[in-house]
Each structure stands twice: as C-alpha cells, then as structure tokens.
Structure 1
Amino acid sequence: MMHMEHRLAQTQTQRLMLTQKMQQAIQILQLSGLELEQYIQQELETNPVLDQIQKEPEPEPVEEAENNDDTEVFDDIAFDLDEYASHWSDRAAEGRDLSYNPDLAERRAYYENSITKAESFTSLLLTQLRLAAKDENVFRIGERLIGDIDDKGYFSGSLAEIADEMGVPEEEVERALYVIQRLEPTGVGARDVVECLLLQINVEYPDEEELKVLVAEHLEELERRQIPQIAKAMKITPERVEELKSVLASLNPWPGHEYTSEPAQYVTPDVIVEKVDGEFVVYLPDETGPKLRISRQYYDMMKAGRMSRDEKRYVRDKVESAKWLIRNIEQRKQTILRIATTIVEHQKEFLEKGIEKIRPLTLQIVADKVGVHEATVSRATRGKYMQTPQGLFEMKFFFSPGLRHDSGEAKSSKSVQSTIKKIVNEENKAKPLSDQKIADILKERGISIARRTVTKYREALGIPSTSLRKTY
C-alpha cells in the first residue's frame, strides 16, 4: 500500500535570471532616439539625484570696431531725465497706450493668426454647406448626411433610414445629398467608386462621353486589363481605351484622403555616415538624448549629516539607479556605433554605387564581428535609422539573405530585386516580359533563380503581372 504524506524538501537548481539592471540595459538598447528621450524625461521626473546638463549657447563672434578718430563715444553723454519725462508726457497727452510695444504686438499677432491644426474634413464640408444650402432644412439634413461620410469621402449611410430618423421624405434627403456632391473636393458624397468618378468626370471632362461609358459599364473589365474586350464592346480601338485609361488615372477615387491623411512623420537619424577624405566616417548625432549627471547637492547633504538613516538609504538607492542609467545609455551609444561601423564596412560598395551593389548580410555576421549576441544586434537596430550618402535608411534595411552568383559571389536579395525592377522598366510595354523570361535574363547575367522566386520578388516590389502591364 502506497504511503502519502506532506514533506518539506530542499533542491538546488541553476537558473538564468535577468536582474532589473540588465533588463533596463536591454530596454534602453532597443529604444529609438525619440523613445529614449521620453524615457530619460520620465527618469528625470522620478529620480531627484539626476540632473540634465544644459547646453550653453555658443557666444556669437563680436567684431571689434576700428578705433578711428571719427568714431563717436557715447559713454560720456549725459542722460536728461527732464527731457525724457517731457517726451513721455507728450505721448500720454496724445492718448497713446504707454504700454504698447510694437515688437511684442507683432509677435502676439503672429501667434494669434497662426494655424496650429489643419481644418478637419467634416468642418470643411460643413463650412461649404452653410453657403450652399438654400434653407435651414437642407442644412439640417445635410449636416446629418455629412456625419455618415467616411475618410475616403464616400457616403456610407442609408437615405431611407435617415429620412425615417428625421421625419422627412426620402426625396428631400436625396436633394440634400445632391447639394453635398457639388462641394469640394469633387466626388465627395458618392455612394461607390463609379459614382465618385462620374461626379469628377462631369466637372473635369464634361464632353468625354466615352469616358463616362467606360466608367459606368466597363470599370471591372478595365481593372482586369481586358482592353480588347472593352474596345470591342465600345466599338473603339484599343489605343483609344488606353487613352481613356490615362485620363481616368488623373482622377481621385478617394477624394477624402487629401484631408484625412495623417501628417508626415519626420525621422531623425540615429547614426550618420559621411565620406571624409575618401573614407566613410560613422558617428552619432550630438542631439541624441539629453546629457545626464548626478547632482552634487545630495552628496553634500549626506556628508553634512543632515539626513536620517532612511533618507540616506533612499538617496543611495537613487544614486545607484542613476549611475546604472547613465552607464546603460553610454553602453547603448557604443553598441550602436560599433554595429553601425561594421555595417558600413560591409556595405561600402552600396554607399558608393547604390542599391544594386548592396551585399548580403545577416545579424549573425555582424554579431560575430562585434562580439555580441545576435539578439543584441536585432535590438540595437530596431526602429533606428542611418543617414548615408545614398539617403536615409532603416538599419534593418542593410540585412538581407544572399543568392549565389555563377561567379561564386553572393548577391543580396535586395540587389536582385533592384535588377528585376530595372528589367521591367526597360521592357517593351506592348510585349511585357513573363516571370520565366525575367528569370532567363537573370540567368544570362549569372543569377540563377527560379520563376517562383521572380514572382515573389515582383510582388514584393508591387509590380503587376504580365497581363496587367501590357499596353496597346
């Protein structure tokens, strides 16, 4: 019979644990420049012993005036207080504002008149509707309709439901929508892409009846590039269909995107590469995060004995935390600099000649040269950008697998993609190359890849298939 009982036992095991300081080092390493600034600001708010080193503005050079005999000296000119007070009294008697400062007034007017945020898409439509609506009822219904216009500029609601909700005939709602469809941007308020394009054609190309027929009856065939079928149905030549397609390409199928798109996001490089005396120099920008130091004030207070035991323990912990933060930030800088230098040494041909000369590179290759783990390289390059003579690139861009060239040299997949793009750009548009033909051309250039690989790279580049690239 099995005997069961509760018993205490001790066992000894080995386990890899990450201390809080190591976790902080890993976290700081993978932060981008902007994220690092935000992290440092949080630490400055929570750790009283941390100080930010303020940058002193560089003094402007002052040119010394030549000491000529004609130079006037104003140091000895007497200041006539009575004359100044009399001038001030004259201004007061004239009723002028004695506190008026023209420089400050100009600056204040600039701030008041500056637009800090662009007008919203909905606000733009409402402003136009107030001017276009013939009566209050049309404006009231139109205001409700604008609430159902999405970011693309399309009306996504139901006329019948809005009519029931507002207690008006559906014909009145239809008339209000008609008013909205005459506002800017042209095509707003359409219920589908066909109606949107037709609204724009009626304004931009009112006499192009064939263009209206093409959009109203053959838009789906046009998306599938069935040019001969469209030409036969419309009784026009394929060349005329291509001409109409070019005109159609000038229209905007999403008129609302011009006003609802997010503002451009600006990127600050974490690493800068410049060519100096024939050599590439890698360095970090000076403005990479605030400079920190430990305040001497708390050291002096501890030495003066003006703290209790608990207060001293608190300050010691904060000082230790501040030291580790400063150390981890400096270690981050050195790690990023070493990794960036290794990348630049490996990609010199790319920096000289462009993307077609980029070489294959993996995280493991960089890790071996720098002497760190592969995961460290991944964290150090995450979300960081490098400014090079070829432009601004994310540091992850420089890593790509390699394909074997017939000469024995490895070619980067990005280099092969660039070659495919160049081949497609130079092809005869009336007889576009198939993926197999592109693979044959690459093989003639010493790059042996399968047709399916060409297809994968072509789709990654956003290049349409052979049938969709054909023109007449």
Structure 2
Amino acid sequence: MSNALKIVQSQKMVLTPQLKQSIELLQLPTADLLETISRTLEENPFLELPEDSSGEDSPLRGSPESEAQAPRHEEESDSAASAPLNDMPPEVDLVHQPWGMPEGDDEYSPIDRAVSLTTLADHLQEELGLLRLDPDISAKASFLIGELDDDGFLPISLEEAAKDFERITSTKPAEPEQWQEALRVLRGLDPIGVGASSPQESLLLQLESRIQSCPPEERKIHELAKKAIAEHLQELARKDFSRLKKCLGCSDEEVRGLYGCIQSLTPRPAALYKSSPTLYVIPDVFVRRQAGRWEALLNPATVPPVRINERLVRLMSAQENGRSKEMSGCLTAARTFAHSVNQRFETILKVAQAIVRRQQDFFSRGELALTPMVLRDIAEDTQLHESTVSRAVNGKYLQSSRGVYEFRHFFSSHVSNASGQAVSSKAIRTLIREFVEGEPPDRPLSDSQLAALLVGKGFAVARRTVAKYREQEQIPIASLRKKIPL
C-alpha cells in the first residue's frame, strides 16, 4: 500500500498514471476530495456509492483488509444480486451526503450549513437605491462603490474615476462638483468611513460624524481624538502618552478617554462584510481515549465508501461481443480510482496514528507537553517517504477533546532545557504567550525579560530566539503592547 506512494528520488523515475492519481488525491483537502469523487461518480458509471451511506460499514470498502474485517450483510447481498441489472441506484449527492450523521438527530438542520454572504458593495448599492438623488449623481456614486477595495477605501482619485466612467459609459465629461457630490453621498452611507482614501481619513470621518451627534459633555474627548489622529498619529502608534499630553494640552484622564474613543472606531470600514464565504474545517480524524491511550480514528463523515458497480460489470461481461475497448478502459479507470481513494484514507490514518502515538502527553496535558517532532520521524515510523508524509498532513485536521488542529501543528523543532532534554519550540512559544498575557499592562515585558523568565523555567533561550518566537506568535514588541495605566 505505502510503497505505491513513495517518491523514488531517482530523476529517471517516470510517474505512472495510477501513482500520479494517488499522489493528487492524497494531497487534496477533504472538501476538494469530496467534490472530485462526486464529479468522478457522474463521469464513470462503474463507480457507485451504496444506497445506505450511513457509515456503519467499513468506509474503506474495496481493500482486502477492510473487507475481511467488515461484517457481512447476507440479506442485503442477496437482494442486490436478485435486483434487475438495469435498476440503477438513485443519484447520490456526494458533497452533501451526511455520512456518519447520527440517526434521529433532531437538532441538526441543513440550514446551519448555509452561508449568508452580503458584500459591502451589495449593502451600499441597496442603501443608495433608497435615496432620492439626481440620476447622474446616483450613477456616479454607484460607480464609486464599484471602485472600493476590500477594506472599503477608494484607492483612486476622483479624476481617475471620472476618466474611467467616461470611457466605460461613453458620456461627456462631468463637472468636478458632480463627482465631489457623488463622493459626499458615498461617504454618507453606512458604515461611516467608506470612500476614504486611507485608514487615517476613515477614522477622521467616523469622528466627525460622532462629534455632530454626541452630547456636549462628550464632544471635547471626540475633538481631542480627532486632533490626535490628524496631527499626532506617530505618537498614537508609539503610545507616547507623555508627549501626547504635552502636545494636546490634556490630562491623564482625557488621554485615557481619547484612547478609548479611538479604540471604538473601525480603521477598515469593510471589516464587518465578507468578500468570500467562510471556509469551515472538516476534521479528517477523531482522537479518542481508548484503554488508557489516545487513538486516532477516521471520521466516517469524510470517508465515502466508493465501490465498483458489480451489477454493471456482470452486465457488460454478459454482452454478446464481450467487453468493448471503451468500456474496458472505463472499468480499469474506476478500479484505479476506487483503489486510490481507499489508499488515501489508509495513508492518512497511518500518519495520524503515528502522530498521536508520539503526542500522547499533548492530548493529556496540552501545549507545554508537545513532543518535538519532524516529518522524518513520522516517515520512519510509517515507512513512508517524507514527501508522502508532507502531502498527507497538508490541509488535514484532527479533532480532539482539546480542539481541532491541523496535522502540521504537531511538527516543530526542539530546544534543550537545563537538563538536556529536548522540548518542542511550540511549548516555548506557549510559555512566551502566557508570560505576555500576565504582564503588567503599563510595563510590558521586553524580549530580554522574557528570555530571563524562560531561564527561570529551565529553558536557556537567547533573546534573538525569543524575538523570533514572539513574532511567530504574532505578538507585537513591548512598546506596542503598552497600555494606559488606570
């Protein structure tokens, strides 16, 4: 099984179609695999799914090992054998087939899987249609909506927009005042801040709107925030509170107030609107505790039992002229595809089991117990090539009591502790994050201080290494983590 997936390093090797297909299916994420299987089922009549795809039977039908272990259902076999050969099973929607779905699950609803997608442009066009505007202004505002980027900013000047509009619509040049009015209309739509040329201008538009509508007692704070954004953006970014107080002539309480005001704004007005559907992770493997150890099991919902339509094979063999060349090739392709699908799941399960065997402490105790592990370790455990392991872990996920993790999460280099034992670099990164989460808000820890804390925990890590791990965890430098003291 595994030998077919090994990549021989010799450059003289030529990939056979069967090996190439096995490699392609192995590296596909689950969602793409299900689409590929669905498409192949439509194209090749020799492939089918059982009418009952509940997942109770072995999902790896077709492989000798799984067939030997799977229970036989004699009544189903007899009924299938006695059915007419032209009585084909109904069409099965593979992508939406609920394999492994618990029977009688009243809480499950297909509506839960629906993704409602409203883009910023759709929302703005709908708002624009509710306004009573001059048709020329409305058309120009609609054109500007189409020019907004994914963040809701207008990346081109009004002059460029006017030239593009005239070229596309073959209209005469309009007065600049018309385009200014169209931009004013756009910036008046919800969310406030759309149509700005930068995050800074977007924040200023939002503050101007608040100043016009807020109570008099709150106006000073909003005006201070507006001045800070317009004239002292660098001090805001560096959190230089002393200089801000001096430049703005305000108190500590007012600095806290303007910061709170700014933090309530949205630098990118399109943040609440999606430009693409949310992609949901489908775990390929479940990790369960059995007999005191953690074990990896295939998720039956991701393992469609693809098999050969034996009735059609018998019908073809019974034809007077025997097998036609075209039908024979179709059958060969079906057998190859079914074998490659089954082989894919066997390989993923083998790799997952090897990972879980090495990471027993992680599933019991968490990130700090993560064992250092590289692709070579799993390749040696499974007798697979490293490139095969790489394809098997890429885009694959497992679900455990600690959450859903990509297979690649468990691979990391090692760092030696004070006693010389190897510790996962991800465990060090977890410690760094814990230190940062517990640091004083007004006195964030520097990289040198973090390194000293790690030494106290028994990990000799250089400051530069700490800086690298901090960046990998997407933790800002200490000066950017500083908060205003209460």
TM-based fold match above 0.5: yes
1:298–1:146 Cα change, 3 Å:
closer
Alpha-carbon deviations, 1:344-364, whole Å to 9, x = none? Answer: 121122111221221111111
Residue in structure 2 matching 1:263, options 271, 277, 288: 277
The reply to whether residue 35 of structure 1 matches residue 32 of structure 2 is: yes
Distance 1:17 1:135 in 2: 67
Distance 2:329 2:417 in 1: 58
Tell me which residue corresponds to 2:152: 153
Distance 1:41 1:140 in 2: 44
- Unpaired runs of 5+ in structure 1? 1-12, 59-114
Q: SS of the residue aligned with 1:222?
A: helix
Q: Are 1:163 and 1:169, in contact at CA under 8 Å, matched by a contact in 2?
A: no
Alpha-carbon deviations, 1:372-394, whole Å to 9, x = none? Answer: 22222111111111011110111
1:314–1:151 Cα change, 3 Å:
closer
Letter in 2 for 1:271: V
Distance 1:139 1:188 in 2: 16
Tell me which residue corresponds to 1:172: 178
Q: SS of the residue aligned with 1:189?
A: coil
For residues 163-242 of structure 1, what are the structure 2 equivalents within 5 Å?
Answer: 165=166, 167-204=173-210, 206=214, 207=219, 208-238=222-252, 240-242=254-256
1:429–1:367 Cα change, 3 Å:
same
For residues 57-456 of structure 1, what are the structure 2 equivalents within 5 Å?
Answer: 118-160=117-159, 165=166, 167-204=173-210, 206=214, 207=219, 208-238=222-252, 240-276=254-290, 278-307=292-321, 311-456=323-468
Distance 1:456 1:196 in 2: 33
Letter in 1 for 2:179: V
- Give the Å deviation of 1:42: 3.4
Q: SS of the residue aligned with 1:291?
A: coil
Distance 2:140 2:16 in 1: 63
Q: Are 1:349 and 1:358, in contact at CA under 8 Å, matched by a contact in 2?
A: yes
1:159–1:328 Cα change, 3 Å:
closer
Alpha-carbon deviations, 1:87-109, whole Å to 9, x = none? Answer: xxxxxxxxxxxxxxxxxxxxxxx
Tell me which residue corresponds to 2:46: 49
Letter in 2 for 1:426: G
Q: Are 1:152 and 1:255, in contact at CA under 8 Å, matched by a contact in 2?
A: yes
Distance 1:191 1:245 in 2: 23
Q: SS of the residue aligned with 2:405?
A: strand
Q: SS of the residue aligned with 2:204?
A: helix
Alpha-carbon deviations, 1:216-254, whole Å to 9, x = none? Answer: 111232123333222211112455434422321111011
* Identity across matched positions, percent: 35
1:314–1:193 Cα change, 3 Å:
closer
Letter in 1 for 2:411: F
Distance 1:234 1:177 in 2: 31
- Give the Å deviation of 1:467: 1.8
1:234–1:287 Cα change, 3 Å:
same
1:441–1:179 Cα change, 3 Å:
same
The reply to whether residue 17 of structure 1 matches residue 29 of structure 2 is: no
Distance 1:116 1:343 in 2: 33
Q: Are 1:438 and 1:454, in contact at CA under 8 Å, matched by a contact in 2?
A: yes
Q: SS of the residue aligned with 2:283?
A: coil
When Rg is computed on C-alpha atoms for both structures, the one with the higher figure is: 1
Q: Are 1:361 and 1:399, in contact at CA under 8 Å, matched by a contact in 2?
A: yes
Q: SS of the residue aligned with 2:266?
A: coil
1:169–1:384 Cα change, 3 Å:
same
Distance 1:336 1:34 in 2: 15
Q: SS of the residue aligned with 1:174?
A: helix
1:236–1:283 Cα change, 3 Å:
same
Distance 1:362 1:39 in 2: 30
1:51–1:176 Cα change, 3 Å:
closer
Q: SS of the residue aligned with 1:272?
A: strand
- Give the Å deviation of 1:139: 2.1
- Give the Å deviation of 1:448: 0.8
The RMSD of aligned alpha carbons is 2.7
Distance 2:345 2:263 in 1: 48
Q: Are 1:272 and 1:285, in contact at CA under 8 Å, matched by a contact in 2?
A: yes
Q: Are 1:298 and 1:315, in contact at CA under 8 Å, matched by a contact in 2?
A: no
Q: Are 2:53 and 2:304, in contact at CA under 8 Å, matched by a contact in 1?
A: no
Distance 2:397 2:157 in 1: 47
Q: Are 2:53 and 2:305, in contact at CA under 8 Å, matched by a contact in 1?
A: no
Tell me which residue corresponds to 1:96: none
Alpha-carbon deviations, 1:117-161, whole Å to 9, x = none? Answer: 644422322332233344334323323333333222223333345
1:247–1:321 Cα change, 3 Å:
same
- Give the Å deviation of 1:305: 4.6
Q: SS of the residue aligned with 1:156?
A: coil
Q: SS of the residue aligned with 2:399?
A: strand
1:277–1:20 Cα change, 3 Å:
same
Q: Are 1:49 and 1:315, in contact at CA under 8 Å, matched by a contact in 2?
A: no
Letter in 1 for 2:438: E
Q: SS of the residue aligned with 1:393?
A: strand
1:144–1:19 Cα change, 3 Å:
closer
1:304–1:469 Cα change, 3 Å:
closer
Letter in 2 for 1:431: R
1:317–1:260 Cα change, 3 Å:
closer
Q: Are 1:53 and 1:290, in contact at CA under 8 Å, matched by a contact in 2?
A: no
Distance 2:160 2:331 in 1: 66
Distance 2:366 2:300 in 1: 27
Letter in 2 for 1:232: K
Tell me which residue corresponds to 1:90: none
Distance 1:383 1:14 in 2: 27
Q: Are 2:137 and 2:182, in contact at CA under 8 Å, matched by a contact in 1?
A: yes
Letter in 2 for 1:52: L
Letter in 2 for 1:22: L
